[in-house]
Amino acid sequence: MRVDMRSRYLGLPLRNPIVASASPLTSSVDSLKRLEAAGVAAVVLPSLFEEQIEHEEMATHNLMLYGAELSPEAHGFFPEVGLKGTGTDDYLKLIGEARKALSVPVIPSLNGYTPGGWTRIAQQFEEAGAHAIELNIYFLAADLADTSDEVEKRYLDLVESVTGMVKIPVAVKVSPFFSAMANMAARLVRAGAKGLVLFNRFMQPDILLDELQVAPHLVLSTSDEVRLALRWIAILRGRVDASLAATGGAHTSDDVLKLLLAGADCVMLASSLLRNGPAHVSALLAGVERWLAEREYESVEQMKGSLSQRACPEPDAFERANYMKALKSYTSALV
């Protein structure tokens, strides 16, 4: 029996539930073609950052104003400050070339943390051919004056700003550090998000002892990290009217299956592809299809969410009961 591997994400048909998340592997058309050939069902391009956009616009603005005081009437000949003629053109070009070269959905990523004029780039993403947009909100509330209400409002205002610019769907990639994650997820959807990508993986700094310096420290994920997204996808499945994407920790076909059973519409890969290469996609898909066939599932859609909190026979397992059971079941040679 042939298993139907198709899924849907943000209203987009996917040939299977594996998506290449933003990484160096999604930064060129040649690499994107290899990912598609390996079997990915969609690609998320590396992020374009709010800081990049604002820096380029300011540099362009300053260049145009240089010497303008010598001829005040020259102001009328200057174009409106925008993104044309800046490095951001390369990103828009990548969207257009990827759209032409690939048959799978192309999803550019916009990374920011404050509402503002820079968010209009979302319109240019759409005009360049994007099927959808991933809004990657990366914000660490380190100011002692920041309150939880203010932080949440910043997220919601940013989502409203971007979703109000475009007609294509916008998925929001968020952190797991909200005190009321379920409520925040529902509010993000009401603000316009058509999908939630769970979760943003914050890069943690390190201290170099010899140099006495603070430095970035990038560590690829492991399968142990998959359970964070698994829990919240299971809790949110069927309770928010949005697509759910899992990211962070999926390295094996078992990881993919668990996330789909919890309720993910797609599973996004970055670290596992960086570690194993695009060919790893084929191995993951073969493992997922084999497991489904052995248990006589006809399709991915049939099994998706069948162990979400609303569907599983023990819904408390996703909350406090699981915490108590885990502590009681742990054994150690030292005890």
In a domain? residue 236 = yes
| Contact status, residue 201 vs residue 221, Cβ threshold 8 Å | yes
Q: Which amino acid is at 38?
A: A
Query: For the chain, how many structural domains are there in total?
Result: 1
> What is the average per-residue pLDDT within 182-195?
98
Q: Is the pLDDT of residue 62 over 80?
A: no
Whole-Å CA distances, 306 to 124, 198, 257: 39, 19, 11
In a domain? residue 40 = yes
Structural domain boundaries, residue 295: 7-329
Q: 164-187 pLDDT, tens per residue?
A: 999 999 999 999 989 999 999 999
Q: Band of the pLDDT at 76, cuts 50, 70, 90?
A: very low
Say how far apart CA 127 and CA 266 lie, in whole Å. 25
Per-residue three-class SS string for 202-250: CCCEEEECCCCEEEECCCCCCHHHHHHHHHHHHHHCCCCCCEEEEECCC
Q: Is the pLDDT of residue 67 over 60?
A: no
For residue 197, the model assigns a pLDDT of: 98
| Contact status, residue 222 vs residue 250, Cβ threshold 8 Å | no
In a domain? residue 37 = yes
Give the residue carrying structure tokens 């409203």.
160
In a domain? residue 334 = no
Compute and round to an integer the Cα radius of gyration of the chain.
Answer: 22
Say how far apart CA 16 and CA 250 lie, in whole Å. 15
Q: Which amino acid is at 184?
A: M
For residue 11, the model assigns a pLDDT of: 98
> What is the average per-residue pLDDT within 299-309?
96
Q: 218-275 pLDDT, tens per residue?
A: 889 999 999 999 999 999 999 999 999 999 999 999 999 999 999 999 999 999 999 9
For residue 325, the model assigns a pLDDT of: 63
CATH code of the domain covering residue 194: 3.20.20.70
Q: Band of the pLDDT at 208, cuts 50, 70, 90?
A: very high
For residue 87, the model assigns a pLDDT of: 66
Q: Is the pLDDT of residue 63 over 80?
A: no
For residue 329, the model assigns a pLDDT of: 67
Between 226 and 324, the more confident residue is 226
For residue 99, the model assigns a pLDDT of: 98
Q: 286-303 pLDDT, tens per residue?
A: 999 999 999 999 999 999
Q: Of the candidates 168, 71, 58, 150, which has an alpha carbon nearest to the alpha carbon of residue 110? A: 168
Q: Band of the pLDDT at 72, cuts 50, 70, 90?
A: very low
Burial label, 121 (beta-carbon count in 10 A; 0-12, 13-18, 19+)? buried
Neighbours of 321 (CB within 10 A): 12
Between 331 and 7, the more confident residue is 7
Q: Is the pLDDT of residue 79 over 50?
A: no
End-to-end CA distance of the chain: 49
Listed range (83-97, 153-167, 186-200, 217-231) with the worst mean pLDDT:
83-97
In a domain? residue 1 = no
Say how far apart CA 30 and CA 83 lie, in whole Å. 25
In a domain? residue 323 = yes
In a domain? residue 31 = yes
For residue 137, the model assigns a pLDDT of: 92
Q: Is the pLDDT of residue 145 over 50?
A: yes
